[in-house]
Structure formats: C-alpha cells, structure tokens
Structure 1
C-alpha cells in the first residue's frame, strides 16, 4: 500500500505543480550560476552539458517533459513552471559560480572539443595525441545555432582531401590549415580569416566548409548584423561564425569585430526587468568573405588573415551537391588530420620562442609551431598578409599617403613637426577628400590611429616630445627606417635608370643638338622658333631594352653631344640656359647670352659691323 501523499495545506490538497517541479529539478539536477551571472543546471548522472534556466528553452522545457512523463501525461501550467524557475534561480545564486565553455575548452594540458551529441561525447587532444571520450571533463553549454561534429576517423590524409575542395595556392592553403589548428585552441586571440576574390571564386562555399569544420551550424554564413545587440546575440551563441559578402564595414562593427577577436563583454538589460542587466562575454573565431571590404580601419586590418581564391574555370566547376557529398565524406578524416597536427603543435609549443612578436603574437607562436612540425613558412605568409592589409588601408587614406611622401622626401633624421606644420607641409589635393583632417587636432588623431599601419611599412611615429614653453605643443617625430630608405632609394634608382641617356641613343642626341645649333642667318627668328629649337634639343628617351646595353662608357661622340647640346641652349632669346648668365651687348646694350667665352657683342650687331 503506497504512502499517503504529503499534504500541502490545511484543506488536505496535495503539493502544487510548482512544488513538484522544484522537487523534481532538485532530485535530477545541480543548479549554479555561470561566471557571467546566468543561472544554469546540469544533470547529476548525465553528460556535462548544461541547461539555461532563463527563457522557454533549456531546463524549463526539459522539466515540463519530465513532469508529464512522471504524471501519466498531466501537463504543468505555465504559471507553475514560472514559479518553479524563480525558486531554482534563487537556489543557483547560492552555489559557487562555474566556468562554462562553448564547443572548445582547456582542461589541464589538454584541449577538449565538444561534439555536441545528445550523449555528450567529446574529443580530448594533448601532446600525446587525441582520443574520443563518452563524457567531457568540463562543462559545456550549447545553443540552438550549434550542430553536432562527426567523430574524427583516421582515414588517409585528411588535409589532402581538404586541399582538393579549395582553389587557393599552396601558400594560402598552408596558412588556412594553421588557422584551423589555432581555431581549436580556446585561450588565445584568433585573427579573422578573410576569403577574398572576385565573383566565381567560391568564397562563400569555402567559408561554409571551413566554419563547418570547426563549429557546424544551421547558419554558418551570416549577413552583417544591423546593430551591436544583434551582433552580440550571434557571437554569444556560436564559437565560430562567418560574415558573408561584406562590401563595407561600418565603424561600430569594425570595433565590435576587434573586441570579439581579443575578448569582449556586452552589457544588456535582462528580459522582463527594468534595472537588471546581463553580461554577454565571448572571444570568437571569425571569418568573412569579400571582394573588397572597402576602407578598413587600421586596427581591424592588423587582425586579418587573408586567403586569396582563384577564379574557377567553367570546365573545372563542380555542382554544389557534388561538393556537399565530397565534404561530408571527408569531414571526419579532415578532423582527424587536424587533431593529429594540433597534438604535434601542443608537443613542440613549449619550446617555441619568437625573436620578433608581431601583432597577434599568440597566434604567431602557433604558426611558428606549425612551421616547425610541417616545415612550412606560414609565419612569413602571415606577415606578408598583414603588410598587404595595412597597405590597403593606407591606399584608402589620402592623408596617410601624403605623410608617407613627406617622410620619404626627408633625410635619415626625419622630421619633427607639430600637427599644424605637418598639415602645412604635406601636398594637399586641390579638392580635399572627406577623410582629410580639417584642423590640427583631427590631424593628430589621424596620425595616432594610423601610427601602427605606418610602422608596418617602416615609418616610425613618435609623439612623446614637446615644444618649448609656454605653448608646449606636442611634436611628432616622423622617421623612415633604414630598410625603407634603402627600398625607396632602390626604387628611385630604378626609375632613374629607365630615364637615363644611353649610348645607343647618342646618335639621336647628336642629330637633335646639331639641328638646334643656331646659324648666323637664323639668329633673328622669333621666340616661337626658338622654343621649337629648344624642344628638339631634349635628349631622346630610350626605346628598347637592348639600347641600354650598348657602349656604356662615355666616348668622344658623347662629349661632342654634350657640347652641341650646350651650344643649342645658348641661342639668343631662349632665356632658360642654366650654364651661362645674361650679358649686355657692348654695341646695342640689349641683353644676350654669349655662346663663346669672352664674347661682348650681340651676334646680330657683330654681323652688322
């Protein structure tokens, strides 16, 4: 005979639905707060997968189903569920906060990847290799945007199978593989993977595959969010996500992407409250596809890893169904090969020391470890990619280009100027572009913002000095590095060589000079004729490459050419000779340019005499 149910009140009624729901939840689940102040529950005898208390999904719906199963199909009311959640949230607030992970987590010296299966299976990767586990040693939370990962299976060379699905070059593929390895390491900033190429290069499909390897989702590609709240919701619920077909990046999104790379926290008002807030904390693995992202902010450009995709010829283009099947068949092998490489990287990583630490130094250290294991040069590719991105930024900044030209024209000591002096010294276009600073204050702000990009191309910006009292104005010291000065000098030398006179063209110079030498009967021509003669005295430009290799040494004919050219410049009325100064004729007292040493009389007066 079963015991009588415990009475809930003086009228002899049984326990309320809310009370039964609370008792059931306490029996089956542990309740706690996450580190960001959100209440969760985890099964006492199940996988380490947590359920959120807030919202209609999560523990609320699970508890309702469990109650219905235990009470012969009786359904709890919404008010009873709401009352039960309030009580359980109070219980969670008294427990010690716990850390929750999304898709990947660090556990001691190993990395744990949640396969997001209902059973809670995971993969544990360490310096000694990887292995599948039935239960994760850490707590994972999940979202509606996540899909399960296949269990990795060692089936041939998974990286080679991935290579067959992408149409980039070897350098780009190696950099992509290194980025994928880093994407499974949770506690470091990950640069934004950027697929760039013209239409028909398969950017969107490549991004879908790559994000699916790391964090499968029903929507691996997203459109650019409309505001910061929409962005925070997307980023909080996915470990890896991609912004597809980005044509321009507004300032607020550029800042949000930078913060998501290094770690971000966004405060929002809690649902159904006026003064309570929730904090969404995240550090994410991001990707985007673009033909040209437009003028990027310098800090965002330094956080990009760009993979160039090539145009796919029509004869080699594959149907999407075929690509989907090939990707699905290769996914498990690709994961296994990536985990093999990740294990090797974790093994050698303690011994990797960077002599130079670029921006995103933690990621660069992973690249160095990949290079050590594979014998690749992903570090060099990453540095080149960063320089190209910075160059693109500077190309879109007219003021930056003017500053670069100003510094390149200065000597080794550089320039030390106020922002107003810089504004006055740079070559400003006739019509000032929108981004051109309107005053010295804005010029200083732009210099500070552009300083990291300028340093990347070899121009140092130091604003630590002050001018003399009483104004004590901030001084900017702009100097070009030795490498940049050598590069600039080399470029100028090449340009000079292309425009230099060659002995192969000496006959042209000789004939032009002779043709322009004044004869006595031509000395009275008007200024127009003189200008035409002067134009013919210009040395001809080299016409062929072979001309530049004939008789480089100066011979008698070259000397004669120089003398004839000098005579042609001395014709009366030219007024542009750089070799002689004008004199007054001893006869007519008119100015003239002597073309023989000691000549004191105008040639016309001399002929008349």
Structure 2
C-alpha cells in the first residue's frame, strides 16, 4: 500500500514546478504493457493514476511544457503500449534547466548510501558555485540515486537553446564530474523526461546495500526566479574552445598558475576548489582595469587545462590565449616545438572520430531505428546510422582532420557508441519518407540537390530550405519538379481516361489527399481491359506524389518483403496483380489505416524490427484485384477505358506532355490543399464513408476546387457500393447467403443446419464450394459470416448467433426496406 506521503510529494512537486493548468506527460518505460504514457493537467488525477506503479516501475515526467493539443492522445489517463510520446517539437518553450548529478556506480543498480550522499553534497557545491556567478536559487531534489538542480529559465525551443544548454552542462561537467559523481551532459534536449518526485527510483534489485529510494524535492526557493540568457552565456565562456583543448599539454601542464599570476601582478580576490578544478576570482580584470566587480576569473583543472575570461560583454572574446598574448608577447613562437610535441600525442582513432561526430545531432524514431542530422550550409541532412552515406560522412570528416583513413575496427566501435547515443538521447522523432505534418503545416520534400521543401498552410504554399531533420532520403527517391503557382485542378484529368465521371472526381480528389500525411488513405485499385493504360496511369500518379527511380514493382512473394516495400516508400505502386493472398491482404489493410509489422533482425534470433505502416498504396490489374471484404472496404475502385488505336501516342510524346504540365499540376494541388486546410476546420459532413478522415478531407478539397463536396460524397458512396458488390461476388459465403435469403424474410436453426442448407443452395446456384473461403465446418462458418457481416447489411441481411443448449443457433433476417446504408458504417 502506497503511503499518502508519496502522493502528497507528487502533487507538491508538480504544483511548484509547473504553471497553472500546464500540460505534462507521464511516462513509464519497459513495463509489462510496453511504454505507458498519459498527458495530464489534473495533478490530483495524475497522482491517483500512477499509485499502482510506484515502486514497480520508474515513473518520469516532462519538465518543460508540452503543446496543449497533445492532451487528446490520452486526456488525464494512462495509455498502454504507447507509440508516440513527447518529442522535442512538442515542447512550447524551455522553462526548466535540469542539472542531473549521478552517483558513479555499476550500470543498472541503485546507489549505496555513501554514493547517494556524495551526489547530494556535490549538488550543493554546484549550487554554491552558480550562486557566486549570480544565478538565482534553484530547486534541490533527490532523484533517488543522485541529485537534481532545477533552475527556472525562459528560452525559445530552438537549436540555439539546445547548444546553449549543451555548453552549460559541459562547463559544469568539466569542473565537477569525477570518479564519484558525474554530471549528465545528455540532458539538454527540450523533451527531456525526469524522475517524478514522489515516485520511487527502482533500478536493479532492492537490496540492503543498494536500496530503492523515493525521489523527492529537498529544498524549494522562496521565489523561483529566472536565470537569464546572459548568465547562461557567461557561464559557457568558461568552456575551453577547440584551440585551447588541442593545446592543453604544451600550454598548461608546465605552468604553476599561482606563480604565473604572481609574476605578472595578477591579484586574486578569492580562491576555491570546485570538484576537478580550482577557480581564481580576480581582483580586477586583466584586459580592462575598469572591471573591478570581480567579474574576471582563471580556472585550472586537475589535468592541467586552464581557461580564463571575464563576464562583461566587452570581454566576451577574451580567453587564456589572449591573456598570454597580452602579458607574454612571443610565447607562441617560443612554444612552437612543444606544440608540435603536444599535437603528436596520440588519441585513438575512435576517440578522435567520436569528438568530430559530435557536431551532429543523434536521435531515434519510434521503432528504435537510429539517425543523425547534420547541418550543411543552409539545410539539414538526415542519415540512418546503418547507412553507407553515414559511414562515408564519418570517413570524410576523419580524413579532413587527420589526413588518414579510418580503420574498419575503429569505424565499427564509433558506430556502436553513436547508436547507443541515439537510442539514449530520448528524442524520438518521426522521420518522413516524403511528406510530414508539423506545427499545423504540411511539408513536402522536393528531394532536389538544393534540399528544398514545399511548406503548405491555410494561407498559401511556398518553397523553403530544408532546415529541420524531417526527411530521410533513400536510393529510390527521385527529385520532384519545381511547382508553379496554378489554380485549376481540372488540368489533372487531361492525362487520364476513366470510364465514368465519378471515377474522375475520386481520382482528382484522392491525388490531393495523398499530400496529407498521417491520415488513413484508401487503397486505389486501378483496373481495366488490356490497352487501357493501367500501368502508365499508375506511374503518372507516382510521379506526381512520390517520384521514384523504381516507380512500380511486382507484388512480392513473401509477406516480409511486402512489409519492407511498404515501409520504404511513401506511395508504393504494385503492377499487374492477378490475386492477393489473405496474409498480404491483411498487411495492405494495415498499410491503409495504420499499424505495425514485425520482422526479425538479420542474424539475430531475439531482436525484431517494428515497421510502422501508413501508406498511399496503389494496385492495378485487369480485374479488381482486391477481393476480400476488409480490403475492399478500404479501397477505391477506378476503371479505365480502352484507348482506341487511332488515339494512341508513343511513350516519348505521352511523358513529354505530362512532364511539361506537371509543375502546374503540383501548383494546383498545393493551392487546393492550402484552401482545404482552412475550410477543413469549419465543415461538418453528415455522411461519412468507410474511411472517415479521407471523406472529410475529400469533401473540403472538392468544395474548394469547384467540384462540390456533395458531388464527391455521392461519388465515394457509389464507389463503396461498387466495392461491396465486388466483395459479395468474389466471396462464396456472401453470395450463397444472399441467394438463400432471396425469397425469405427470416430463418432460424443451428449453425450445422444452416451450413447444410447453404451447400444445397451453392449446388443449385453453381457457387464454388472448393474455394478456400468456403467453410467446410460449422465453426468455420461463424468466422466466415463475421468477415462479410457489413457487406450483408447493405443487402438488408442481418443475423445473430447465440449459444443454445449444446449447439449454436443462428437467426437470420432480411428487411425488404433496407434501412442500413453504407454511410452508416464509419471507421475512425
């Protein structure tokens, strides 16, 4: 039973750290129910909900405020097997600076009492040091195994803030980390989660020597005042620059800093030992004598390294080297040989390369695939750590620095370390293949050499530099043409020959919706007789949405290969399909509405890769290749007409005309999408088809493009009826039940009796009972009926199955006036 003191500590800590009604995420990792997550602004409810988990799992919360609309994911409640947790992009601003002091101990264990005490004492030393730098009083907290210092800051959530916080932590690590206590330098990301105060830190086994302890706040300031940006920046000026780091040995190890200061008349106001360094606060600034407010300092680290500086803005460019230049003219020339000796001191190739790679940001996605983002000129490039491109980048930066090649063993070690860094940064991000929605805007990657993207919002669209790590390029991606401003979406229909007007409308609207990421997209099934340009039409669609070197593929033989193709393409297109197996049909259904596909990692028995699927899938064949009811429910059937011999054109002419028009086609699509984004927020659609999100977006697009929302809805529902007819015709159970009820209003009996009746009807109607879908046993019949239940409803046929004595009894009813419409069947 959890004592009430835990719950009170939780509420007290949150109410002090968080602003009124501020939203935060609660997260528990590696539980028996996967990741447990919830978004709360009701801290009373939060404390009650996590009560069963205190002492069982480590409970974390987001320190910085998250966007309020995230509460819709799990409003004031916990969600099991959570896939999408808070990312850095979900943080509104940076309000808290966390300094995490960890007791050095074996991995995966709790700290001993002595180790724990050392971390708390070190935290007080850090607090005292920062107070002398003018910082306000922090919250001092016990993390259960170490200590936390929480400072109130007010920074924008951007890359500049990331670098500033990184440097602050590096300074404190240089001064205070040692073999007993380590300051965690990795807690700089905005979405950092922290041990929830009032919960129990439960790493490893709870033993007498290494007990589990409650995390709690030890000291609150009377007023939680902000540390301003200038104070943060002044602290980072203590950080040795690269030049200082590279020359530490020749410049510092031979210097007795006290004697050196005495020789040059530098007076010390105060001397103090801080962790791994000694800080000398100077009486006056050696660069500008008017600075007499003890703003100048010299710090010597235990390893001999020296840094110097002054907190005044006028001295922002001053350092240890400029001080020596001022007081020891010519020292650099005299030390030339020593510098060469120092530079020849060897670091391992792995150490050098890890240092060089620190210019990149490392992160993972929700399936634990690891990535890095690298700022290049005015854009950001994203690489998988397992990719050849990333290895080539590492090889280049190492060669540029050393003039040497990296060994394969060193490369292997470095990639292992960087993989660990990417997985432990806890910056889970969604990396897109072509299109992504972020901050109420849609971004579309042109994949060109200039790394340009199209950004679309409800006001308009424009082309910008890619400066966020959103897109991953693979070998199959092809550059898109530069779109032109254009407003007439009907330009699209000039390049396709659909058999009826409804199909033209659906195709036009669907192409626009394909640029809306993260909504369920219907599977497009293109069919028609030979010579109806099925493959060419599909390739045009792919060229508009997701240009690729290998734009169409055959349906693979294995389910695993299908999952990989779906995972690697934004708009996979499968050509000339004859039939689709039950397993592949299930995977395609998952790709349409969203889901995960698991496969074993190469050369391992235990590890698995989770492929998250939500794609814009296109299929084609002479006949309607989607035959199973659940797949047809998620499909739009588009029929092409045969092109007369007199109207045929050669390939070169077809593609020249299409490619010449493509910039305008894209411009019209982006314009309509922008207008639809504005309308989407205000419309209400009374009739929703099987794919509800697609229906609502389609209505908005049809309205702004001049087609008319109601006309689109009619076309979509008619298409769903057509799909239902196809489902019934291709399914022997649905066909035989409809035939059985043709002249009946109702029937009752056991499932066994019903199966016998259906055999008789199948024989008379010449329905194939050798089909794999035919139920040979009564228990199979129940399952087969459930598969076509929604299809039968559209024919006015419904049924109930109940246990009756030792058998199951079915009652089947047919309504003459069908009241159940397809539009009543909604899947959100």
The TM-score range, normalised by the shorter chain, is: 0.7 to 0.9
Residue 314 (structure 1) aligned with residue 645 (structure 2): yes
User: Which one has the bigger strand percentage?
Assistant: 2
Q: Which of 485, 510, 532 is the equivalent residue of 1:154?
A: 485
| Structure 2 partner of 1:212 | 543
Taking a change above 3 Å as real, the CA distance of residues 273 and 295 of structure 1, as seen in their structure-2 partners, is: closer
Shift of 1:308: 1.1
| Structure 1 partner of 2:793 | 455
| Structure 2 partner of 1:478 | 813
Q: Which of 92, 96, 110 is the equivalent residue of 2:422?
A: 92
| Structure 1 partner of 2:41 | none
Question: What CA distance in whole angstroms lies between the structure 1 residues aligned with 2:337 and 2:450?
Answer: 35
Question: What CA distance in whole angstroms lies between the structure 1 residues aligned with 2:687 and 2:492?
Answer: 31
| Structure 1 partner of 2:524 | 193
Taking a change above 3 Å as real, the CA distance of residues 448 and 274 of structure 1, as seen in their structure-2 partners, is: closer
| Structure 1 partner of 2:770 | 434
Aligned residues of 1:114 and 1:136 also touching (Cα < 8 A): no
| Structure 2 partner of 1:604 | none
Bigger CA drift: 314-323 or 399-408?
Answer: 399-408
Shift of 1:203: 0.5
Question: What CA distance in whole angstroms lies between the structure 2 residues aligned with 1:315 and 1:34?
Answer: 53
Aligned residues of 1:6 and 1:15 also touching (Cα < 8 A): no
SS at match of 1:140: coil
Taking a change above 3 Å as real, the CA distance of residues 32 and 232 of structure 1, as seen in their structure-2 partners, is: same
Aligned residues of 2:487 and 2:672 also touching (Cα < 8 A): no
How many residue pairs align between the two structures? Answer: 473
Question: What CA distance in whole angstroms lies between the structure 1 residues aligned with 2:725 and 2:341?
Answer: 76
Q: Which of 380, 384, 391 is the equivalent residue of 1:52?
A: 384
Using the size of structure 2 for normalisation, the TM-score is 0.54
Aligned residues of 1:121 and 1:136 also touching (Cα < 8 A): no
Taking a change above 3 Å as real, the CA distance of residues 314 and 69 of structure 1, as seen in their structure-2 partners, is: farther
Question: What CA distance in whole angstroms lies between the structure 1 residues aligned with 2:605 and 2:762?
Answer: 52
Question: What CA distance in whole angstroms lies between the structure 2 residues aligned with 1:44 and 1:283?
Answer: 29
Unpaired runs of at least 5, structure 1: 486-609
SS at match of 1:253: helix
Taking a change above 3 Å as real, the CA distance of residues 66 and 433 of structure 1, as seen in their structure-2 partners, is: same
Aligned residues of 1:115 and 1:148 also touching (Cα < 8 A): yes
Residue 323 (structure 1) aligned with residue 654 (structure 2): yes
Shift of 1:196: 0.8
Residue 80 (structure 1) aligned with residue 415 (structure 2): no
| Structure 1 partner of 2:576 | 245
| Structure 2 partner of 1:235 | 566
Unpaired runs of at least 5, structure 2: 1-335, 821-828
Question: What CA distance in whole angstroms lies between the structure 1 residues aligned with 2:524 and 2:625?
Answer: 16
Question: What CA distance in whole angstroms lies between the structure 2 residues aligned with 1:39 and 1:3?
Answer: 42
Residue 389 (structure 1) aligned with residue 723 (structure 2): yes
Aligned residues of 2:506 and 2:712 also touching (Cα < 8 A): yes
| Structure 2 partner of 1:562 | none
Question: What CA distance in whole angstroms lies between the structure 1 residues aligned with 2:338 and 2:653?
Answer: 64
Shift of 1:136: 4.7
Question: What CA distance in whole angstroms lies between the structure 1 residues aligned with 2:647 and 2:482?
Answer: 31
Question: What CA distance in whole angstroms lies between the structure 1 residues aligned with 2:338 and 2:562?
Answer: 55
| Structure 1 partner of 2:46 | none
User: Which one has the bigger helix percentage?
Assistant: 1
Q: Which of 757, 761, 784 is the equivalent residue of 1:425?
A: 757
SS at match of 1:375: coil
SS at match of 1:351: coil
Matches within 5 A, 1:82-231: 82-96=412-426, 97-137=428-468, 139-155=470-486, 157=488, 159-168=489-498, 169-231=500-562
| Structure 1 partner of 2:351 | 19
Taking a change above 3 Å as real, the CA distance of residues 137 and 39 of structure 1, as seen in their structure-2 partners, is: closer
Q: Which of 446, 460, 473 is the equivalent residue of 2:784?
A: 446
Taking a change above 3 Å as real, the CA distance of residues 247 and 378 of structure 1, as seen in their structure-2 partners, is: same
Q: Which of 375, 389, 396 is the equivalent residue of 1:65?
A: 396
Using the size of structure 1 for normalisation, the TM-score is 0.73
| Structure 1 partner of 2:734 | 400
User: Larger relative CO (CA 8 A, sep 6+): 1 or 2?
Assistant: 1
| Structure 2 partner of 1:345 | 676
Question: What CA distance in whole angstroms lies between the structure 2 residues aligned with 1:142 and 1:189?
Answer: 23
Bigger CA drift: 62-71 or 338-347?
Answer: 62-71
